[in-house]
């Protein structure tokens, strides 16, 4: 489906990067507009009046909001341009959505606690964060990608958090390589893809 595509995002946002990676994987041309989150543009406020946040995908003037919904929209609209990002089997598709939901509701929340709180609560958050990483490692197993043999929806859901690997290490006093070597190796594989390397910010700059 042709038409003008615009992405409203922010350079350190792991959620905003999902939209860009999905579009790159599908070979869709788009315009990227960097938002100033302290002074949100009239376009952002118009296109996402409910949450007033990025990312927003604007396709032919119509907004799609929330990053995982955006990735699924891209997969459906441009289904004939490249392989499906979501698994074709209904059970595998449901499983991918389950893990993506866990990434947003548990991994992201635990990661934020590492750099925002101190003391005993910080240690508890660190323990929870590492346990979630180990759960993701078990899901990865010996597969090259979280979704299996091909890079897809679940990999897109997680790879943007690579932005913050250095933050997790420095604020959490931990080694991502020591705690979750398979996840680090997986991230390095993902970053060999142009779609990810073009979209994911440098952790040291973050």
pLDDT tens, position by position, 16-53: 999 999 999 999 999 999 999 999 999 999 999 999 99
What are the domain boundaries of the chain? Answer: 5-77, 90-199
Contacts of 65-70 spanning 24+ positions with Cβ under 8 A: 67/15, 67/16, 67/18, 67/19, 68/18, 68/97, 68/100, 68/101, 68/104, 68/157, 70/18, 70/19, 70/22
Cis peptide preceding 55, ω within 30 of 0: yes
DSSP H helical segments within 85-147, as ranges? 90-102, 108-116, 119-140
5-77 CATH, one of 3.30.1330.20, 3.40.50.880, 3.40.30.10, 3.40.50.300: 3.40.30.10
Which CATH architecture describes the domain 90-199? Up-down Bundle (1.20)
* Assigned token pair, 153: 């929806």
pLDDT band at 116 (very low <50, low <70, confident <90, very high): confident
pLDDT at 153: 98
pLDDT at 147: 87
- Rounded to an integer, what distance in angstroms lies between the CA atom of residue 130 and that of residue 125? 9
Strands 56-59 and 62-65: antiparallel
pTM over 0.85, yes/no: yes
Whether 5-77 shares its CATH topology with 90-199 is answered: no
């Amino acid at each position: 489906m042709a038409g003008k595509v615009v992405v409203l995002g922010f350079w350190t946002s792991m959620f905003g990067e999902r939209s860009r990676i999905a579009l790159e994987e599908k070979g869709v041309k788009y315009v990227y507009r960097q938002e100033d989150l302290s002074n949100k543009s009239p376009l952002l406020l118009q296109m996402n009046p409910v949450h007033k946040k990025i990312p927003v995908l604007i396709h032919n003037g119509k907004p799609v909001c929330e990053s995982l919904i955006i990735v699924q929209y891209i997969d459906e609209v441009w289904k004939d341009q490249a392989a499906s990002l979501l698994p074709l089997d209904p059970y595998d598709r449901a499983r991918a959505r389950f893990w993506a939901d866990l990434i947003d509701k548990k991994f992201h929340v635990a990661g934020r606690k590492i750099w925002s709180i101190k003391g005993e609560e910080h240690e508890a958050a660190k323990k929870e964060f590492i346990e979630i990483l180990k759960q993701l490692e078990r899901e990865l197993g010996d597969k090259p990608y979280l979704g299996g043999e091909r890079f897809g929806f679940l990999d897109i859901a997680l790879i943007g958090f690579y932005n913050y690997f250095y933050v997790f290490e420095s604020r959490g006093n931990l080694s991502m390589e020591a705690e979750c070597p398979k996840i680090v190796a997986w991230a390095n594989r993902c970053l060999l893809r142009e779609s990810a390397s073009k979209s994911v910010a440098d952790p040291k700059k973050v």
